[in-house]
Amino acid sequence: MTMVEDDLREALRSKAAVFGTDPEAMGRVERRIRRNRNRRAATAAGAAFAVAAAAVAVGVTGQHDDGPAARELLLTAADAAASAPAGTGRYWHTSGLSEELIQVGSPGRGTYQVRERARTDLWMPQDAAAPAWIRTSGLGAAPATKADEAVWRAQGSPATYRTTENGDVKIPAKPDKPLTERIKPGGYGERFGQELTPEDVRTLPADPARLRTALLRLIKRASADEGDEQLFDWGGSLLLRYPASPQVRAATYRMLAGLPGIRKLGTVTDRAGRTGTAVGLNAGVDAQGSRFTERLVLDPKTGRALAWESVMTGKGGKAAGTARAGQVETAQLTLESGWTGEGPPGR
């Protein structure tokens, strides 16, 4: 141990003592969680620590290999995406909807699920120097099914719900006022799960192999997460909300077609009631012991991505009593997207 190392240890210790903490910090985190929930409901393919678990789940469930069907579907979507018109405008605008099932209840009286929904509008600029904007309107939360509603009534029809997993957060039933905010560089990860800026997207290559390398570099730059689940997650987000050129969109589908483990899930109806075809990856097990698959719903004829949904494929022992395998746990839906000359109202 050299002198400088001893000194450094001491210097760091004395500097560390300078930083105080806000007694309201927990409340601030809860507010952030609530904001985040509305923006991008829950986890997409997760952290490095979960990759092993996900890999095991793929093996254990032993689904028949419909990888070739998934590849064929994604390549068809790629061809359609490549021939879409490029378009231009000041902003790439997407209108979306996000939803999440949340386990709530009162201690000792049973748990049930509410579905929280929010409408999200995003404006990503053509001009790298201009800011991106997001407008979020919380649509409120309500018991998810008839069974949930029965438990809610039995517990006295509370106007606010209290979460019963991972902390006690209050979820209001009522809608929120719309909130328009500028997205700071460095703020994309918190909102969408990927630290990917419109500027990053502009520089992405249109060759699938080079795109894969470029995305892996961005993933590594931004987070502690890694693996094919991340490529699926980032690729899905890119298709759903970013202003990528038709060529980069096509390359994204082709890159996804090359991911091992990706499966065709067939025709599905998304949370907005639209019919599409889904591809998915197993996403591992949560703290309640439930298993999930994450799926990208797309329209192969137009090459448009419709939704990203996390579906419970096996109910865990600690899941809410009313939870059912097959339920869509979280969803981010893109209802409309395209170039526009208009920014957010009033900006």
Partner 1 sequence: MDEASFTALFNAHYGPLVRLAGLLGADDPEDIAQDAFARYYRRRRRLRDDAAAFAYLRSTVCNLTRNRRRHLGVVRRALPVLFARTEEDVPADFTAMVREDHRELLAALDALPAKQREVLVLRYWMDLSEREIGKVMGISAGTVKSHAHRAVAALQGSLREKA
Span from 123-131, 188-196, 241-249, 337-345 in contact with partner 1 (CB under 8 A): 188-196
Q: Let me know if 218 is exposed, middle or buried by CB neighbors in 10 A (0-12, 13-18, 19+).
A: buried
Among residues 222, 299, 321, 339, which is the contact residue for partner 1, using CB under 8 A? 222
Contact flag: residue 129 with partner 1 (CB under 8 A)? no
Contact flag: residue 23 with partner 1 (CB under 8 A)? no
Q: How far is the CB of 345 from partner 1 (least distance, A)?
A: 27
Q: How far apart are CA 330 and CA 116, in angstroms?
A: 9
Identity of the residue, 291 or 304, whose beta carbon is nearer to partner 1 in the bound complex: 291
Whether 219 and 44 have beta carbons less than 8 Å apart is answered as no
Whether 89 and 31 have beta carbons less than 8 Å apart is answered as no
Among residues 99, 148, 195, 233, which is the contact residue for partner 1, using CB under 8 A? 195
Contact flag: residue 48 with partner 1 (CB under 8 A)? yes
Identity of the residue, 284 or 303, whose beta carbon is nearer to partner 1 in the bound complex: 284
Q: Containing H/E element for 234?
A: helix 228-241
Q: Which residue has the tokens 């192999």?
A: 209
Write out the two tokens for 147: 């069974």
Contact flag: residue 109 with partner 1 (CB under 8 A)? no
Q: What is the DSSP string of 300-325?
A: TTTTEEEEEEEEEEE--TTS-TT--T
Span from 41-49, 72-80, 130-138, 210-218 in contact with partner 1 (CB under 8 A): 41-49
Contact flag: residue 286 with partner 1 (CB under 8 A)? yes
Span from 20-28, 136-144, 234-242, 257-265 in contact with partner 1 (CB under 8 A): 20-28
Instruction: For the chain, state the CA radius of gyration.
Output: 21
Q: How far apart are CA 99 and CA 271, in angstroms?
A: 8
Contact flag: residue 168 with partner 1 (CB under 8 A)? yes
Q: How far apart are CA 268 and CA 281, in angstroms?
A: 15
Q: How far is the CB of 14 from partner 1 (least distance, A)?
A: 5
Q: How far is the CB of 109 from partner 1 (least distance, A)?
A: 14
Q: Half-sphere exposure of 30 toward its Cβ, with a 13 Å CA cutoff? A: 13
Closest residue by Cα to residue 195 from 237, 160, 156: 237
Among residues 96, 125, 138, 193, which is the contact residue for partner 1, using CB under 8 A? 193
Among residues 62, 127, 224, 317, which is the contact residue for partner 1, using CB under 8 A? 224
Q: How far is the CB of 53 from partner 1 (least distance, A)?
A: 8
**Residue 139 pairs with which residues in a beta bridge?**
none
Q: Residue count at the site for partner 1 (CB under 8 A)?
A: 58
Closest residue by Cα to residue 114 from 126, 127, 102: 102
Q: How far apart are CA 335 and CA 39, in angstroms?
A: 15
Binding residues (CB under 8 A) for partner 1: these are: 2, 4-5, 7-19, 21-22, 25-26, 28-29, 32-33, 36, 40, 42-43, 46-50, 53, 164-168, 184-186, 189-190, 193, 195, 220-224, 226, 284-287, 292, 318
